[in-house]
């Protein structure tokens, strides 16, 4: 890669923190998109865009990314390969959702906390109804619920966006978790949107537009 130039970020809008990107992210798709026509059109759109740079000073990078886009398209349009890719992606999401355990307190150096008669503060609603997910027996759902519960009372916008992405992943699962996941994903995105700027704000706004019809549909009997 040319020094100081990131083609994934510049051409595809994928920042370094999200690299290496999944096939869905490379093609600009929501995770686990199932519509073959949507996948095909997205791939052709990305390929046509990157092909514009094939004759410029970054022609070698253009060709490399074109190959990756073609491979992503081929994988997601091949059901067995897509199923394997989705399983690996879900496992990766579950691993990333695992909260980092806090180090044990140093009993010798830490003073005892003052006693208080006040009840503990209620958790804010971005964690959702995670108790049932913790007891569901599904490792991915349990990891997602633990990640939601581990957030601080006033999380940063970036943390809310990441949690929203995880909830959107859970929305591909079966009921009753699908409806809850859609509601939580929408809440996270709407909470983070006013704090974002530039491309992240545009991306989250587009996600909200996609989530609202889906969440409304899930409410219908």
Instruction: Answer yes or no: pTM beyond 0.85.
Output: no
- Give the whole-angstrom CA distance, residue 53 versus residue 5: 13
Residues in the chain: 221
**Continuous H helices in the chain:** 7-12, 23-26, 36-51, 59-76, 79-97, 131-134, 139-150, 157-170, 177-192, 198-219
Look at residue 63 in the predicted model and tell me its pLDDT. 92
Per-position pLDDT tens, the chain of length 221: 456 788 889 899 888 888 888 899 899 998 889 899 999 999 999 999 999 998 888 889 999 999 999 999 999 999 999 888 888 888 877 776 666 565 665 544 455 555 555 554 444 444 444 555 555 556 666 666 666 666 666 778 787 777 777 777 766 666 666 777 778 778 888 888 888 887 778 887 888 888 776 655 555 44
What is the pLDDT, as a whole number, of residue 127? 43
Question: Which single residue is written with the structure tokens 């003073």?
Answer: 111
pLDDT the model gives residue 125 = 42
Non-local (6+) Cβ contacts of 204 within 8 A are 161, 164, 189, 192, 193, 196
Question: Which tokens belong to 78?
Answer: 């091949």
168, 29 contact by CB (below 8 A): no
Give dist(CA 11, CA 62) in Å, integer: 9
Q: Which of 195, 104, 93, 77 is nearest to 145 (CA)?
A: 93
């Amino acid at each position: 890669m040319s020094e100081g130039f990131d083609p994934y970020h510049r051409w595809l809008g994928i920042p370094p923190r999200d690299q290496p990107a999944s096939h869905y992210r490379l093609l600009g798709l929501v995770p686990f998109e199932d519509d073959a026509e949507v996948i095909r059109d997205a791939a052709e759109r990305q390929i046509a865009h990157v092909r514009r740079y094939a004759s410029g000073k970054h022609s070698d990078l253009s060709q490399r990314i074109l190959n990756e886009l073609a491979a992503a398209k081929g994988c997601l349009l091949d059901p067995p390969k897509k199923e394997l890719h989705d399983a690996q992606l879900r496992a990766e999401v579950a691993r990333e959702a695992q909260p980092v355990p806090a180090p044990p307190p140093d009993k010798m150096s830490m003073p005892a906390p003052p006693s208080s008669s006040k009840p503990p503060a209620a958790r804010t609603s971005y964690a959702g109804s995670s108790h049932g997910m913790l007891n569901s027996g599904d490792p991915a759902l349990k990891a997602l619920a633990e990640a939601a519960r581990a957030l601080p009372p006033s999380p940063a916008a970036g943390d809310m966006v990441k949690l929203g992405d995880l909830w959107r992943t859970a929305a591909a699962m079966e009921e009753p978790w699908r409806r809850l996941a859609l509601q939580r994903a929408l809440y996270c995105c709407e909470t983070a949107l006013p704090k974002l700027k530039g491309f992240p704000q545009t991306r989250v706004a587009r996600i909200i537009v996609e989530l609202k019809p889906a969440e409304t549909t899930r409410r219908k009997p």
